[in-house]
Amino acid sequence: MPSIVYLNGEFVARSNAKISVLDRGFLFGDGIYEVIPVYQGKSFRLSEHLARLNDCLHKVQITNPYTEKQWQSLIEQVVEKNDEKNTSVYIQVSRGFQQERNHVATPAVKPTVLVMTSPLSSGDAELKPIKATLLEDIRWKHCDIKSIALLGNIMLRQEAEARGCQEAILHRKQKVTEGATSNVFIVKSGVIYTPEKNQYILGGITRDLIIELAEKASIKVIEAQISTDELFTADEVWVSSSSREISPVTQIDDKIIAQGEIGSIAKKLHCDFQAFKQTLIND
């Protein structure tokens, strides 16, 4: 069965989904995206993802073409048409097609909307430790915007891959910001630390849920700066994202973190995360 995607009002086979070369998403990376996991046919934290999409569109002055209900219905239809119970939904809204290539958008430009599914990489019962590399955060100063222009993230993630690592942990002046595709947490003496939300990090939906679950479990969370030195002396380091959930980092470059063991707080929160997912599935 071919993959069915939604493109500008139509459901079409992915191989037939075409946009103009004059689309501003293609020419300028002028657009916003979201990645939403779907478990057993149910979108995970959908309203939070749609709220972030709406906020990001607002920040770059692209009109949100749909209401929350319309988005929900579109996502459900794409998931149903692809008959995939566990999948990852990718939404992209670019500023749209414009007659001439011009940095300045004309007011009449109408957003291009794509909704498609791709295989879900998370959803495993097991926590999988990863190796990370520490890199300077070379990106711009609006990392809170989930922009489709991901060149900085791509360069960093590719450098990590070239170094045999599954993620890059980024820093600005030795202060940890986030991962190339994830948020960062450390644990020290039973307390969780994660960088506070600001223009240098994406406010991760998974990050927020982890904080919620930790607080429910009476584990203290402090949103504050983390120095690169603190990474190496932490009892636990993990990264989080919609596609990875919680990934323990047991090695950063040539340094082994916490004897290479997965920490007890990561294990506890991973369990709570799976239980939280199960309640959504059973609902």
Instruction: Assign 56 to helix, strand or coil.
Output: helix
> CA gyration radius for the chain?
19
Token pair for residue 48?
A: 């939070």
- Of 49 and 98, which has the nearer Cβ to ligand PDD? 49
The contacts of residue 103 (CB under 8 Å, 6+ apart) are 28
Side by side, which strands form the sheet with 42-43? 10-13, 4-7, 112-118, 87-94, 31-39, 42-43
Per CB under 6 A, 250 contacts ligand PDD: no
Single residue of 178, 235, 236, 272 touching ligand PDD by CB under 6 A: 178
Mark 6-45 with x for binding to ligand PDD (rule: CB under 6 A) and - for no binding: -----------------------------x----------
Shortest CB 101 distance to ligand PDD, Å: 26
Residue whose tokens read 């120095």: 227
Rounded least distance, CB 37 to ligand PDD, Å? 8
Neighbours of 254 (CB within 10 A): 7
What is residue 157's three-state secondary structure?
Answer: helix
Options 3-11, 74-82, 176-184, 220-228: segment touching ligand PDD (CB under 6 A):
176-184
**Euclidean distance between CA atoms 265 and 197, whole angstroms:** 22
Q: Is residue 183 a contact residue for ligand PDD (CB under 6 A)?
A: yes
Q: Applying CB under 6 A, does 270 fall inside the site for ligand PDD?
A: no
Label the pairing between strands 31-39 and 87-94. Answer: antiparallel
Nearest distance, CB of residue 102 and ligand PDD, angstroms = 28
Give least dist CB 204 to ligand PDD, A: 3
Q: Does 243 bind ligand PDD (CB under 6 A)?
A: yes
Q: Point out which residues bind ligand PDD (CB under 6 A).
A: 35, 153, 178, 181-183, 202, 204-207, 240-243
**Residues labelled catalytic:** 146
